[in-house]
């Protein structure tokens, strides 16, 4: 990646390369569209509460909470990723947490997903991260197979927990 945030990833000689670029203000509509496409694929569209204003603040506000990249091919946005950094007390170092990665169906199988994860791994390594973490739905066999192919392994013995809505508000009170 150069200082502009652009990465050109060649595909095969018969197709155009795809370009990675860091999301910029104005991309929140595009990011929200990808979030909705991913949620629809995961059968979770009813859970999407994100708004363009919320994404703008989270990605580009005074205190950004996440980062995003857009993948383009022949001028068309075909995928995206959103991530943020956490901290591992056991590692004693930051961790890159991959929140979402999505490649549109017509562009899967061409190496874009692998290139996204390789780009995120380079970012993680450059930031001193000793690991990358993410979650996957237990029924999503194609994603799990892909993750195994790039070397990821499940974290045995751990179950994700979540506090939301009324329970979160009650505990905060």
Active site residues: 147
Instruction: Decide: 156 and 119 in contact? Cβ < 8 Å.
Output: no
Q: What are phi and psi of 99, to 5 degrees?
A: -80, -50
CB neighbourhood size of 51 (10 A): 11
Q: How far is CA 21 from CA 43, 55, 69, 159, in A?
A: 28, 17, 6, 33
Backbone φ/ψ region at 137: left (φ over 0), alpha (ψ -120 to 50), beta: beta
């Amino acid at each position: 990646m150069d200082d502009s945030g652009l990465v050109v990833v060649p595909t095969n000689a018969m197709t155009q390369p795809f370009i990675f670029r860091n999301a910029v203000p104005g991309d929140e509509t595009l990011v929200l569209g990808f979030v909705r496409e991913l949620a629809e694929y995961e059968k979770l569209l009813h859970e999407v509460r994100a708004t363009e204003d919320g994404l703008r603040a989270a990605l580009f506000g005074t205190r950004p909470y996440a980062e995003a990249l857009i993948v383009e091919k022949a001028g068309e946005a075909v995928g995206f990723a959103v991530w943020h950094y956490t901290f591992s007390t056991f590692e004693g170092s930051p961790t890159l947490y991959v929140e979402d990665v999505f490649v549109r169906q017509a562009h899967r199988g061409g190496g874009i997903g692998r290139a996204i994860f390789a780009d995120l791994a380079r970012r993680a390594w450059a930031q001193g991260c000793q690991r990358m973490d993410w979650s996957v739905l237990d029924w999503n066999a194609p994603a799990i197979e892909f993750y195994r192919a790039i070397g990821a392994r499940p974290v045995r013995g751990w179950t994700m927990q979540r506090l939301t809505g009324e329970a979160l508000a009650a505990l905060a009170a």
